[in-house]
Amino acid sequence: MKKEEKMQICYTKAKEYLIEITPLELQGEELRKYFNIEKTFKTKSDILYGLLGSLQNGNRMPNVIGLWNENRRDIFEQILYQYDAESILQQYDADSLYEEFCANFNVKNKDSKNNLWMRYSKSIISASKFISGFETAVDFDNFISSFSNNRLSSVAAPLILEKEVFGLGFTLACDFLKEMGYSQYPKPDVHIKDIFSSFGLCEDNDYEAYKAVIEMANICNDTPYNVDKVFWLIGSGKFYLHDVNIGGNKKDFINKVQNIFLGEI
């Protein structure tokens, strides 16, 4: 079976499977809310907030940092000047920002070199420097859009972000762009890599998985964002817009599609 046909079958079955496992109350219009994202930012502060959100999406950091925690929202906004990059840079370096976090939050192991708050402080300063390099949100949008000519040039944007912003990495850079509303960017997370590599659609690494999602999107006439979301919902089972978690179904999906490829059913 050719790779193109394999990708078409895989995505068709994934969409069918997602509908099968989606709770009845989330079918139809409710499920469609997870797809076809639009730009989610209007200001540079919106962009920085999104970037800081992706920066805390690494291992253990969401629970430790809690940027999106309702109880911490006002504190973060006050410390970070409503996410104004220039104001942050005028007020802090990484060390002084870390001290401010220690004064406002229960920071454990303060002297540890691996302290997540210290790492996050460095990331915030680095991210603020990057965002401050753009005059307006439109300038940032034009910068990202300049890489969108084809699927090979598009990868330059997350690669640049990975180099410019401390602690981001390629996968989280893709996550940031995706959540900002750039539908041409998938996030090659563990669910994508596990599913795609199981079917021989890519090697089990971030870059190859990234390319494979974009290739599948082109073949199936959909956006990389939508392809990413279908497999992520299957793999995670987290319908976050509705605060519903049905548990991951990745292994079951892989087994069913493998049987189709093997001609067993």
Question: CA 79 to CA 91: how far, in whole Å?
Answer: 10
Whether 223 shows a pLDDT value over 60: the answer reads yes
Residue 208's pLDDT band, with cuts at 50, 70 and 90, is: very high
pLDDT of 54 higher than 80: yes
Quick check: 207 pLDDT over 80?
yes
Query: Is pLDDT at 206 greater than 50 in this prediction?
Result: yes
Averaged pLDDT for residues 137-145: 96
Share of the chain above pLDDT 70, in %: 99
**Mean pLDDT score, 103-123:** 92
pLDDT of residue 263: 73
Whole-number pLDDT of residue 63 = 87
pLDDT, mean of residues 176-187 = 95
pLDDT of residue 124: 98
Q: Evaluate if residue 176 carries a pLDDT over 90.
A: yes
Residue 44 has pLDDT above 80, yes or no: yes
Q: Residue 112 — very low, low, confident or very high, per pLDDT cuts 50/70/90?
A: confident
Whether 265 shows a pLDDT value over 50: the answer reads no
Of 149 and 230, the structure prediction assigns the larger pLDDT to 230
Q: What is the mean pLDDT of residues 34-53?
A: 95
**Mean pLDDT (the chain, rounded):** 94
Whole-prediction pTM value? 0.90
pLDDT at 264: 53
